[in-house]
Amino acid sequence: MCGIVGIVGREAVAGRLVDALRRLEYRGYDSAGVATIHGGRMDRRRAEGKLFNLEKLLDAEPLPGRIGIAHTRWATHGVPNETNAHPHFVEGVAVVHNGIIENFSELKDELLSEGAVFESQTDTEVVAHLLAKYLRQGLDRRAAMLAMLNRVAGAYALVVMFENDPGTIMAARFGPPLAIGHGQGEMFLGSDAIALSPFTNEITYLVDGDCAIMTAGGVEIVDYSGKPVQRRSQISQASAFMVDKGNHRHFMEKEIYEQPEIISHALSHYIDFAANTVKANDTAIDFGKLSGLAISACGTAYLSGLIGKYWFERYARLPVEIDVASEFRYRELPLSPSQAALFISQSGETADTLASLRYCKQEGLKIGAIVNVRESTIARESDAIFPILAGPEIGVASTKAFTCQLAVLAALAVGAGRARGTVSAEQETAMVRHLAEMPRIMSRVLNEVQPQIETLSRDLSRFKDVLYLGRGTSYPLALEGALKLKEISYIHAEGYAAGELKHGPIALIDENMPVIVIAPHDRFFEKTVSNMQEVAARGGRIIFITDEKGAAASKLPTMATITLPNVDEIIAPMIFSLPIQLLAYHTAVFMGTDVDQPRNLAKSVTVE
């Protein structure tokens, strides 16, 4: 999604603005722009494509100035080109925007009828025109800003600069996040604290309905009626992390290989390794007394929730209602305050997940957030926060956040089972021991399977379609495998419950569509092998991801068999995630795609 930065500084800002934009690249974008004010004149540079193009423009024609705003755009209204790139200028007003102005066409009609001339196809430009109109009508800048905010509807983070006021940046938030950074005699703002981490770690988060008036000396925050509101600043953890690739070619690769270490850090938050028990979790949700659980999330986070459903139902006998957040939010699902709701989100800012959370809150449910960004909106609006402690995830395709979400869900499900009397002390000890040995097994798997997967990826990259199959917790993994492959390699891939094969997809089986079967030697193994037989009988090529027992038990010919160590059921989804991630990664690298920032995708999806 779009990234926003602004600085009211003591020295030149253009270079720092571009540096901050680079830290927001992970969100996904297709054009970028920067504007500054210098010598009473506002100027901008904008370029389609990557930041490199914007930098070339700035090298050729530098932008001096100690105040500026900048933007990476992820196109919603209008194609990604220079004209649609932000900042948008109208009569000395500059605007950058993340989100969607839902009533933009109605506002545009009104402005057009009054003689406004639009340059771009964006919804953002109406904001600049509205501000210009109110200034022409004689309102001062602050009043014009508030009048504009009272006209626009939708989800937005807006940042505005006025040519005739080179000391102030105004901003507003209604939906997508905005963080204000406090410096020494300078102030910053950005879409998140990571963007601001080289400048400051003292951060104030705006909440929906806040308008900030920022000068070099500080920030004043008011509501849309102009009434002052107090927001406390906090010290962000974002600056504690070095966001670089280390020795890896891509952030995604680095994040895949970080998993053993990170997951052990995450587990130590939930597990008492000395006592072999799950630590008592946040008291705001009493899993022992719940009548049910609702889970909602998007994309990969939704798929971790789907695996969580299997665990909560099996180990804690707790019924789980789960849906993708874009459906959940509109389903008008009947809920009761005796249930709790869990929302899973790496970014903690996903618009649909947040809307589902607010629905459940309205229905009187206790809310739990399984998030990576602890300062995010979803975390702040929850009763209980279950951090996944994965550190910044920069690759757009989620990897380490997925396995950390799974680790947290596994610990919560075992803890819930204990609280509900469905998991005995002995079972708890056994499961905790398996969880504790997981980081070591992950390291081993990453080292052992990598060469084989790299070779296999070359073969896989020749195909146009791939099918993934799995049963039980391997079914959501099949969905995740297909999602990962399609999003970064652009090969069409589908995930299916293995038992569904014969209800339709079997019609597609031939030698041109490899079938990736995920089947640890668990209680479903024999049934999945029967489905493999059906594939083999129709000339399908099988890539079999199994464990040592499974490899020994199956005699079917395969295109490749990836053999993992035998592991307990509770950790199998995390272990089997690794070959799935590596297969997608190496296939994409082999095909030469933009692995960390795949086309059309955004890391933080703050629009519906």
Name the residue nearer to ligand F6R (CB basis): 339 or 346.
Answer: 346
Residues 352-371 that bind ligand F6R (CB under 6 A): 353
CA distance 477 to 571: 13
Among 36, 300, 457, 597, binds ligand F6R (CB under 6 A): 300
577 binds ligand F6R (CB under 6 A): no
Buried b (16+ CB within 10 A) or exposed e, 343-369: bbbbbbbbbbbbbbbebbeebebbbbb
Q: Return the range that interacts with ligand F6R (CB under 6 A); candidates 12-20, 129-137, 249-257, 340-348.
A: 340-348
Among 298, 435, 441, 572, binds ligand F6R (CB under 6 A): 298
- Cite the beta strand spans of 136-185 per DSSP E: 154-162, 169-174, 179-182
Among 98, 239, 345, 554, binds ligand F6R (CB under 6 A): 345
Name the residue nearer to ligand F6R (CB basis): 211 or 298.
Answer: 298
350 binds ligand F6R (CB under 6 A): yes
Q: Return the range that interacts with ligand F6R (CB under 6 A); candidates 49-57, 161-169, 343-351, 564-572.
A: 343-351
Per-residue CA distances from 371 to 87, 101, 266, 365 (Å): 31, 27, 12, 18
Among 487, 494, 547, 596, binds ligand F6R (CB under 6 A): 487
Name the residue nearer to ligand F6R (CB basis): 90 or 397.
Answer: 397
Q: Return the range that interacts with ligand F6R (CB under 6 A); candidates 242-250, 263-271, 296-304, 505-513.
A: 296-304
Among 347, 356, 382, 531, binds ligand F6R (CB under 6 A): 347
Give the CB-nearest residue to ligand F6R: 299
Q: Return the range that interacts with ligand F6R (CB under 6 A); candidates 73-81, 184-192, 212-220, 292-300.
A: 292-300
Could you tell me the two tokens for 269?
């938050």
397 binds ligand F6R (CB under 6 A): yes
Nearest 5°: the CA angle 424, 426, 432 is 100
> Which of 254, 400, 484, 603 is an active site residue?
603
Binding mask 441-480 for ligand F6R (x = CB under 6 A): ----------------------------------------
Which residue from 23, 17, 381 is spatially nearest to 192, judged by alpha carbons?
23
Nearest 5°: the CA angle 230, 364, 298 is 80
Strand partners, 345: 371
Q: Return the range that interacts with ligand F6R (CB under 6 A); candidates 47-55, 293-301, 314-322, 516-524.
A: 293-301
Active site residue 404: no
CA distance 601 to 313: 33
Q: Name the residue type at position 541.
A: R
Name the residue nearer to ligand F6R (CB basis): 152 or 408.
Answer: 408
> Which of 2, 211, 298, 404 is an active site residue?
2
Minimum CB distance to ligand F6R, residue 373 (Å): 8
CB 101 within 8 A of CB 126: yes
Active site residue 2: yes
Written in H, E and C, the secondary structure of 465-503 is EEEEEECCCHHHHHHHHHHHHHHHHCCEEEEEEHHHHHH
Q: Regarding beta strands 3-8 and 187-190, do their DSSP bridges make them parallel or antiparallel, or are they unpaired?
A: antiparallel
Minimum CB distance to ligand F6R, residue 444 (Å): 25
Which residue from 283, 301, 253 is spatially nearest to 446, judged by alpha carbons?
253
The alpha carbon torsion through 308, 313, 315, 318 (nearest 10 deg) reads 110
Tokens 């299997």 correspond to: 310
Among 68, 260, 299, 415, binds ligand F6R (CB under 6 A): 299
Residues with a known catalytic role: 2, 603
Q: Given the rule CB under 6 A, which residues bind ligand F6R?
A: 298-301, 345-347, 350, 353, 397-398, 483, 487, 604-605
